[in-house]
């Protein structure tokens, strides 16, 4: 699918100067901010692939590093959900204040621990967030924030991701917003099996089409 790209640039978000990659296709229908998982970054091949297909479907995307290089070297920060959630909020606020993106409806896409951070941020930001998607996430780590999420939330889990399925079921039970748990048969935690990541993308686009545009 050929879509013209209106803007594509590296950006710096707030302090401590988080590095990000912003892509805005022509006629963008909304923007999706990515919150990557533990030990990953804005350069995650899986998230960049998801972002490319979202761009082709006229969704703007912002991938950014939740931690600086120095912060990421301390493994405790990688699992500090409160810290990561504050960084997601920082990116959302930057997007709302940036003239190029201020008028676009906002969605979040979280993976692994980034999914918990996205949900905590969504609970804090309320109506500023229109939709959330979690890929192989740990939404259970959002804990008491789960009940405060108002944005429609899609939880996608691999059928072979034993243990994480149950954690997502737990999270769904503690949420009061519109939510759906979608299991992708034959997929592991990282959705590396043939066709499984494409299924994640199709489910995500359908969710954003319904709630983000």
Angle, in degrees to the nearest 10, between helices 113-125 and 81-97: 60
CATH architecture assigned to 5-211: 3-Layer(aba) Sandwich (3.40)
| % pLDDT > 90, the chain | 82
Write out the two tokens for 158. Answer: 């691999």
**If pLDDT is split at 50, 70 and 90, which confidence band does 68 have?**
confident
Domain segments of the chain as ranges = 5-211
Residue 126 DSSP label: G
Q: Of the ranges 75-79, 113-117, 194-198, 209-213, which one carries the lowest mean pLDDT score? A: 75-79
Q: How many helices (H) and strands (E) does the chain have?
A: 7, 8
The structure's pTM equals: 0.95
Instruction: Determine the 3-state secondary structure of 131 from DSSP.
Output: strand
Tell me the mean pLDDT in the region 49-66.
Answer: 96
**If pLDDT is split at 50, 70 and 90, which confidence band does 2 have?**
low
């Amino acid at each position: 699918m050929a879509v013209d790209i209106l803007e594509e640039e590296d950006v710096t978000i707030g302090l401590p100067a988080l590095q990000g990659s912003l892509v805005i296709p022509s006629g963008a229908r909304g923007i999706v901010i990515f919150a990557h998982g533990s030990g990953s970054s804005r350069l995650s091949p899986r998230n960049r692939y998801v972002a490319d297909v979202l761009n082709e479907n006229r969704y703007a995307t912002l991938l950014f590093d939740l931690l600086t290089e120095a912060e990421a070297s301390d493994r405790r920060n990688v699992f500090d959900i409160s810290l990561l959630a504050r960084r997601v909020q920082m990116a959302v606020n930057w997007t709302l204040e940036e003239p190029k993106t201020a008028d676009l409806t906002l969605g979040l896409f979280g993976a692994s621990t980034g999914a918990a951070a996205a949900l905590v941020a969504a609970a804090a930001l309320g109506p500023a967030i229109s939709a959330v998607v979690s890929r192989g996430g740990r939404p259970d780590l959002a804990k008491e924030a789960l009940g405060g999420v108002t944005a429609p939330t899609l939880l996608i889990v691999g059928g072979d991701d034993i243990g994480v399925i149950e954690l997502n079921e737990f999270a769904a039970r503690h949420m009061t917003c519109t939510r759906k748990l979608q299991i992708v048969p034959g997929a592991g935690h990282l959705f590396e099996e043939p066709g499984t990541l494409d299924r994640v993308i199709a489910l995500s686009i359908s969710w954003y089409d319904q709630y983000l545009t």
